[in-house]
């Protein structure tokens, strides 16, 4: 089969023929129809992000495809089913604290690297091998719709954060990083889950205005000034009431003061979800005041990805009409032009923009 292979950090993907994946018990083989190209994939391939990725590897975190072959432990899947392939692969021998690898992208730790030795190759290929539990049925879709369904991979990240925070209908949410790709997805997910109001701070006024255009008056925007105290007060004022949950998805390049300003808007007994990259590139720590956390009974959730059942629940949210995939503008490339896709994704990231490869 044809695949795009990363052979060394700092090099281009090599498009070549590789052996087809071999089916084992507890596994499913998928014919890949479409797969996301993350906007920062070039930083992973260059080594800039220092992701734990054992080379050579076929990259690509998850995707949309059709079942080609199933193992003996699959009782609901059928050959030909349209499915979403969840890249979050968990070890099966510790249900309480499983090791995790993101198939075709990165591992969390040494245990995740062990998983990566088997479930290493991702979706930049005509076929991929996936753990049975990571294959989620979509129901009937057309081949043309497969690209837009790749947005599940983006939407699942904030959805996992809000599940951890037990977001309830009618609550007020603040999304720190709302003008980015994952942050804008968080705005749409929070509204789909029933948030009464979403506070969206940022510096890009054009994107802030577009969020209001898309979602209406339930979105309240705040233009950030860079002054921590002033920005915090402006965000509180925009909420016009208690902020129940703060969700942070800021990238590594952002100052900790910007993140802290948003986090400390949360009400007493409120919840904070940390899913961003602050500190990953070094520099100062977040430095949240211990007395503020303790005296206000603040719950802080560090969340990496999402629980195993999240994908099926999110698919149901889309099928219900509460969460729309047609917000996403898609640019598609074939596998032979995978390097062009990576470059395009880096230059054209942002809210509701998605680059995909269609093997």
Among residues 280, 235, 278, which one has the least CA distance to residue 257? 278
CA dist., res. 122 & res. 132, Å (int): 15
Per-residue confidence (pLDDT) for residue 320, from 0 to 100 = 96
Per-residue pLDDT of the chain (359 residues; tens, 9 = 90+): 999 999 999 999 999 999 999 999 999 999 999 999 999 999 999 998 889 999 999 999 999 999 999 999 899 999 999 999 999 999 999 989 999 999 999 998 899 999 999 999 999 999 999 999 999 999 999 999 999 999 999 999 999 999 999 999 999 999 999 999 999 999 999 999 999 999 999 999 999 999 999 999 999 999 999 899 999 999 999 999 999 999 999 988 888 899 999 999 999 999 999 999 887 777 778 889 999 999 999 999 999 999 999 999 999 999 999 999 999 999 999 999 999 999 999 999 889 999 999 99
Per-residue confidence (pLDDT) for residue 291, from 0 to 100 = 97
Can 2-151+325-358 and 157-302 be said to share one CATH topology?
no
253 within 8 A of 278, measured Cβ to Cβ: no
Among residues 189, 173, 191, which one has the least CA distance to residue 310? 189
Map out the domains of the chain as residue ranges: 2-151+325-358, 157-302
CA dist., res. 128 & res. 86, Å (int): 12
Per-residue confidence (pLDDT) for residue 351, from 0 to 100 = 95
Residues, the chain, total? 359
CA dist., res. 272 & res. 92, Å (int): 29
Per-residue confidence (pLDDT) for residue 282, from 0 to 100 = 73
Cis peptide before 56 (omega within 30 of 0): yes
Among residues 62, 124, 140, 119, which one has the least CA distance to residue 306? 62
Per-residue confidence (pLDDT) for residue 285, from 0 to 100 = 82
Per-residue confidence (pLDDT) for residue 253, from 0 to 100 = 82
Please name the CATH architecture into which domain 2-151+325-358 falls. Alpha-Beta Complex (3.90)
Per-residue confidence (pLDDT) for residue 263, from 0 to 100 = 97
CATH number of 157-302: 3.40.50.720
| Three-state SS letters, the chain | CEEEEECCCCCCCEEEECCCCCCCCCEEEEEEEEEEECCCHHHHHHCCCCCCCCCCECCCCCEEEEEEEECCCCCCCCCCCEEEECCEEECCCCCCCCCEEECCCEECCHHHHHHHCCCCCCCCECEEEEEHHHEEECCCCCHHHHHHHCCHHHHHHHHHHHHHCCCCCCCEEEEECCCCHHHHHHHHHHHHCCCCEEEEEECCHHHHHHHHHHHHHHEEEEECCCCHHHHHHHHHHHHCCCCCEEEECCCCCCCHHHHHHHHCCCCCCCEEEECCCCCCCCCCCCCCCHHHHHHCCCEEEECCCCCCCHHHHHHHHHHCCCCCCCCCEEEEEEHHHHHHHHHHHHHCCCCCEEEEEEC
Per-residue confidence (pLDDT) for residue 319, from 0 to 100 = 97
């Amino acid at each position: 089969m044809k695949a795009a292979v990363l052979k060394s950090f700092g090099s281009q993907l090599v498009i070549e023929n590789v052996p087809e994946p071999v089916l084992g018990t507890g596994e499913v083989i998928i014919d890949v129809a479409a797969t996301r190209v993350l906007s920062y994939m070039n930083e992973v391939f260059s080594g800039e992000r220092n992701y734990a990725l054992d080379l050579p590897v076929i990259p690509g975190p998850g995707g949309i495809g059709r079942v080609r072959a199933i193992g003996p432990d699959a009782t609901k899947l059928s050959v030909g089913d349209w499915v979403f392939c969840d890249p979050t692969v968990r070890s099966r021998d510790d249900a309480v604290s499983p090791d995790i690898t993101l198939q075709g992208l990165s591992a969390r730790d040494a245990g995740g690297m062990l998983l990566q030795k088997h479930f290493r190759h991702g979706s930049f290929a005509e076929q991929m091998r996936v753990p049975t539990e990571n294959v989620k049925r979509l129901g009937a879709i057309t081949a043309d719709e497969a690209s837009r369904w790749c947005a599940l991979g983006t939407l699942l990240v904030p959805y996992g954060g809000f599940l951890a925070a037990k977001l309830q209908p009618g609550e007020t949410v603040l999304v720190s990083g709302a003008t980015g790709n994952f942050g804008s997805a968080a705005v749409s997910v929070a509204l789909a889950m029933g948030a009464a109001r979403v506070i969206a701070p940022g510096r890009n006024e054009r994107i802030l205005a577009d969020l209001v255009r898309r979602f209406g008056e339930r979105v309240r925007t705040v233009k950030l000034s860079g002054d921590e105290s002033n920005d915090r007060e402006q965000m509180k004022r925009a909420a016009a009431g208690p902020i129940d949950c703060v969700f942070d998805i800021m990238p590594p390049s952002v100052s900790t003061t910007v993140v802290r300003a948003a986090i400390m808007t949360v009400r007493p007994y409120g919840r904070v979800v940390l899913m961003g990259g602050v500190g990953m590139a070094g520099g100062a720590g977040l430095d949240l005041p211990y007395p503020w956390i303790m005296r206000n009974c603040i719950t802080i959730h560090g969340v990496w990805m999402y629980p195993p059942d999240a994908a099926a629940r999110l698919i149901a949210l889309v099928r219900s009409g509460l969460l729309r995939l047609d917000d996403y503008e898609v640019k598609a490339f074939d596998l032979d032009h995978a390097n062009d896709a990576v470059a395009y994704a880096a230059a054209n990231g942002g809210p509701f923009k998605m680059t995909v490869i269609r093997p």
